[in-house]
Amino acid sequence: IDYTGTEPSSPCNKCLNVSWDSTTPCTCTINFTLEHSFESNVFMYYGLSNFYQNHRRYVKSRDDSQLNGDNSSLFNPSKECEPYRTNEDKPIAPCGAIANSMFNDTLELFRIDNDTKTRITLIKKGIAWWTDKNVKFRNPTGDGNNLTALFQGTTKPVNWPKPVYMLDPEPDNNGFINEDFIVWMRTAALPTFRKLYRLIERKNNLQPTLQAGKYSLDITYNYPVHSFDGRKRMILSTISWMGGKNPFLGIAYITVGSICFFLGVVLLIIHHKYGNRNTSADIPN
């Protein structure tokens, strides 16, 4: 479901020119229909296009020691984070361009049945890699577990509406260990990518996770992409016994195989055409 809003008829067109510092959030709703039921667990992704997370300076713009809970790096971030290292003479936590550009749209899913909207439960935990959640990312340590006190003396990233210790009310999903933040910090290799946003678990084996029918996507539109001709979309996907659908490997194998076959034919022709020449350097009698 593309909800960028570039088309005048799109419900999200009114939010197209939203800016980072907008004080009033813009909301829109897109209705859609699922033609087929989703039987097993469903994965909700957000997708971005024309967003180059693979730029060298962008990828380097982070401080892994700070993200790992090192107190000295918290107040003295790496110079790689420039120009998002400090703001108003206070260290930024988390610093760097990757954190500063974190995706912050809010997506909610509803099923429509006889004009009645039923909210679909979206699970926000379990979306990050286990090694990221438990090894690479740590909150600062100190007396007590009050994140507000632990982050005292730092400031939020420039484009964030609230500081890192207010990302989630649940302590095990707040601060640097917030899973939405962790997912965003794992940069994508291509300019068109998707990242896991929420999980929809199957409740029982008698009914599908998402039945075929009418649904609505409620969007709190905060993330601006129109300035760089980007696009935003919501993706629903499921898995089978063979895993998820990812055509990249198949396309890569076919492309490399075709190139090898073409080069093989070319080299075979060259060999037959020029390979029988007498290259002997023997001096005749």
Tell me the pLDDT tens digit for each residue of 147-198: 999 999 999 999 999 999 999 999 999 999 999 999 999 999 999 999 999 9
Q: What is the mean pLDDT of the chain?
A: 90
Look at residue 239 in the predicted model and tell me its pLDDT: 77
Look at residue 144 in the predicted model and tell me its pLDDT: 65
Is 182 inside any structural domain?
Answer: yes
pLDDT at 97 over 80: yes
Rounded Cα gap, residues 81 and 86, in angstroms: 9
Is 262 inside any structural domain?
Answer: no
How many structural domains is the chain composed of?
1
* pLDDT tens, residue by residue, 16-54: 888 887 778 899 999 999 999 998 899 999 999 999 999
Q: Which ranges in the chain belong to alpha helices (H)?
A: 56-60, 64-67, 71-75, 97-100, 130-131, 147-150, 179-185, 248-274
Distances, alpha carbon 82 to alpha carbons 62, 63, 96, in Å: 9, 11, 7
pLDDT at 273 over 80: yes
Is 4 inside any structural domain?
Answer: no
The more confident residue out of 285 and 193 is 193
* pLDDT tens, residue by residue, 71-86: 999 999 999 999 999 9
Is 242 inside any structural domain?
Answer: yes
Is 230 inside any structural domain?
Answer: yes
Task: Give the three-state DSSP class for 173.
Answer: helix
Is 197 inside any structural domain?
Answer: yes
Q: Which residues pair with 119 in a beta bridge?
A: 110
At CA 179, angle to CA 106 and CA 142, rounded to 5?
125
Is 36 inside any structural domain?
Answer: yes
Is 218 inside any structural domain?
Answer: yes
Give the pair of three-digit tokens for residue 197. 């946003």
Residue numbers of the domain that contains 195: 13-248
Confidence of residue 274 (pLDDT cuts 50, 70, 90): confident
